[in-house]
Amino acid sequence: MQTYSLVFFGSQINSAELLELLVKDNRFKVVAVVTQPDRPVGRKKILTATPVSKVAKKYGVDLFKPERAEKKNLLKNPEELYKKLDKYSFDFILTYEYGQLLTEEVLNLAKFGGVNIHFSLLPSYRGAAPLPWQILNGEKETGITFSKMGTDFDNGELLYQEMQDIQAGDTTVELHKKLSQRVLDISVSVLLNFLEGKLKKVKSSYPESYCPRMTRKDGFIEYLKFKQALEGKLDLAIKIERMLRAFNPWPGVFTMVKNKRLKILEGKLIGDKFIPTKVQWEGRNIQTWEGKV
């Protein structure tokens, strides 16, 4: 039986679940893992390792945590990572929600290059955090794309693609959970078919687009527009409802009322109007909407 060696790049819980699946599969050998450095978490700023770090340590896989550059999609010292990985012999690189671009030199260390897993139907929604932007733009479908890695985000040859409907009430959290589960279901098959040259060429008919990283400002809605949505301006009502689903859990949705921050936590469309159901004034407890601002 053929065993394929790989270096795994990832950080989040869904990445950790895939890493554990591959570690346990004797058709693969994970020779090294690369993840984000430990970061302070919570109010007490406790230095916390990524879920991927914990899986690597659990199974005794060599682990590296290179720092990112000030420009967040690049590594601070890619040459150092190259030197560390050059000590290994491996067939391919797999990245899954890692967040940084890899240099051509690093990618060329792998016999079959690098493969990336992305939550959109490429070439639509290239870039970081594609799911919130798809919900915000009212897309009816998203998907999972496996692609060859290049030196820019999500611009390599498409290897495998499948569609997933976006339901009317889907939040980013819910949609991410569904797609993450599907990745666990299909990854072994897709990767083996790729490595054995059995994948059919993907011809995508989706238009090319790029989505930027989210910032806290993306969750802001001007008070006048918020008020108009409450009064029945349908396009604004739809926008705010989508924002609530798209920017869940971060950055959330908020407006400013007389220099006071009002978080809109929950709400729904009723006719042409957006009706908040739960809100939170800055510094106060969560409360039901009383219809007055």
pLDDT digit string, tens, across residues 66-103: 998 876 677 889 999 999 999 999 999 999 999 889 99
- What pLDDT is recorded for position 91? 98
Please name the helix (run of DSSP H) or strand (run of DSSP E) that holds residue 164, with its range, or none: strand 158-165
Distance of alpha carbon 164 from alpha carbon 107, whole angstroms = 29
- What pLDDT is recorded for position 227? 96
pTM as predicted: 0.95
Binned average pLDDT, 10 residues per bin, the chain of 293 residues: 96 97 98 95 89 98 92 83 97 95 95 98 94 97 96 91 96 97 98 97 92 94 97 98 96 95 96 96 93 66
- Give the closest residue to 93 by CA, choosing from 163, 150, 164: 150
CB atoms within 10 A of CB 176: 18
Domains and CATH numbers, the chain: 4-195 (3.40.50.170), 216-288 (3.10.25.10)
Distance of alpha carbon 84 from alpha carbon 93, whole angstroms = 14
Residue holding tokens 């290239």? 126
Look at the alpha carbons of 52, 56, 57, 59 in this order and tell me if their dihedral is positive or negative: positive
**Strand 46-48 versus strand 62-64 pairing type:** unpaired
Count Cβ atoms within 10 A of the Cβ of residue 283 and give its class: 0-12 exposed, 13-18 middle, 19 or more buried: exposed
- Give the closest residue to 143 by CA, choosing from 181, 186, 179, 170: 179
Residue type, 18: L
Question: Are the C-beta atoms of 34 and 9 separated by less than 8 Å?
Answer: yes
Please name the helix (run of DSSP H) or strand (run of DSSP E) that holds residue 130, with its range, or none: helix 130-136
